[in-house]
């Protein structure tokens, strides 16, 4: 019997990879889709599949009917306002409410559903750990400080109603996702292709990355593995410094990388977002994925970038 999975927030690069992989397994996908006025409608990619898949309209700021989310084998919750952009007061409110309030409303509805899902996979981020320098960070490491760290901590706390109701809940702490269809890598490509890429700040900050195909593979692994729950770091086993990332990306593109962005320029241009996201350092290990036997396809950054960019 084919499974039914409810998904949210899959209109971006992650969804471009995740949804086809679910469909290929015969899974029936139902999309939890934002209604107008709740932070924006889905993009063209999201709307393109609307005719072939059932959609449940929702406003993340409003409670969800438990009946609407009843009867699914799994729920994958990725929705939330993008963290990219200058963090004005209004932007920070959107980031917080779309992620924290939306997660809490969904978790409460799942907890009250007559037919509860077997597993609830909720997106968090390695921003949970804050800026930690060279410290090696594992799932049991302490939470960090800063706006993004606090949002991630609140998102994870908001899943508690589902956990309390006996639903296996995995809070996936996602690193820098490398995808050919946009996201962070897409924003980096133009300056690097023009030969004007370079280190951010001193280049010593750690970047914990994951190939989008391993992110999707990791989600499938969690869906099938009943022993995986709680926080799960979704990063490749070999993080790199920003300087190493810069050198590798420039090398794969056969371009120089000679124009660094000093730390003060990043802070001036991007404000708090630049300080926490671009200059922050997180050296993260995927302990739970490795110990549970997930077979990473892309452990080396160069192999991932060459596969993504040299097609």
Tell me whether strands 283-284 and 176-178 are parallel, antiparallel or unpaired: unpaired
Reading the chain (311 residues) residue by residue, the pLDDT tens digits are 579 999 999 888 898 899 999 999 889 999 999 876 544 333 433 444 444 579 999 999 999 999 999 999 999 999 999 998 899 999 999 999 999 999 999 999 999 999 999 999 999 999 999 999 999 999 999 999 999 999 999 999 999 999 999 999 999 999 999 998 878 888 888 889 988 899 999 999 999 999 999 999 999 999 999 999 999 999 999 999 999 999 999 999 999 988 888 898 888 888 999 999 999 999 999 999 999 999 999 999 999 999 999 86
The Cα 73–Cα 69 span in angstroms is: 10
How far is residue 7 CA from its own chain's centroid? 14
The answer, as to whether pTM is greater than 0.85, is yes
Ramachandran category for residue 40: left, alpha or beta (phi over 0 → left; psi -120 to 50 → alpha): left
Q: Where are the domains of the chain?
A: 4-175+210-234+285-296
> For position 51, what pLDDT does the model report?
47
Rounded distance, CA 83 to CA 91, Å?
A: 8
Q: What is the pLDDT of residue 36?
A: 60
Q: What pairs with residue 5 in β-bridges?
A: 29, 74
> Among the CATH numbers 1.10.580.10, 3.30.360.10, 1.10.1740.10, 3.40.50.720, which is that of 4-175+210-234+285-296?
3.40.50.720
CA–CA separation, 106 and 207 (whole Å): 31
- What pLDDT is stored for residue 47 in this prediction? 42
Angle subtended at Cα 274 by Cα 273 and Cα 280, rounded to the nearest 5 degrees? 95
């Amino acid at each position: 019997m084919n499974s039914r999975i409810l998904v949210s927030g899959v209109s971006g690069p992650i969804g471009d990879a995740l949804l086809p992989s679910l469909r290929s397994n015969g899974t029936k996908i139902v999309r939890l889709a934002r209604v107008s006025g709740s932070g924006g409608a889905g993009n063209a990619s999201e709307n393109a599949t609307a005719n072939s898949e059932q959609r449940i309209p929702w406003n993340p700021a409003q409670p969800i009917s438990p009946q609407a989310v009843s009867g699914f084998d799994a729920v994958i919750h990725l929705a939330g306002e993008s963290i990219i952009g200058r963090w004005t007061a209004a932007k920070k409110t959107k980031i917080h409410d779309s992620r924290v309030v939306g997660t809490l409303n969904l978790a409460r509805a799942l907890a009250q559903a007559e037919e509860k899902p077997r597993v609830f996979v909720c997106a968090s981020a390695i921003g949970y750990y804050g800026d930690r320098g060279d410290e090696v960070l594992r799932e049991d490491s302490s939470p960090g400080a800063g706006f993004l760290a606090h949002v991630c901590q609140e998102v994870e706390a908001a899943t508690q109603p589902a956990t309390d109701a006996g639903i296996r809940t995995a809070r996936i702490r996602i690193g820098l996702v490398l995808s050919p269809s946009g996201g962070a890598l897409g924003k980096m490509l133009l300056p690097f292709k023009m030969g004007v890429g370079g280190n951010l700040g001193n280049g010593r900050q750690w970047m914990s990355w994951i190939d989008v195909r391993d992110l999707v593979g990791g989600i499938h692994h969690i869906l099938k593995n009943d022993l995986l729950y709680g926080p799960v770091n979704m990063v490749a086993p070999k993080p790199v410094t920003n300087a190493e990332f810069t050198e590798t990306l420039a090398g794969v593109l056969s371009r120089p990388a000679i124009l660094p962005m000093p730390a003060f320029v990043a802070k001036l241009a991007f404000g708090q977002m630049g300080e926490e996201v671009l200059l922050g350092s997180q050296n993260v290990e995927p302990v739970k994925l490795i110990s549970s036997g997930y077979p990473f396809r892309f452990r080396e950054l160069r192999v991932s970038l060459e596969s993504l960019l040299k097609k």
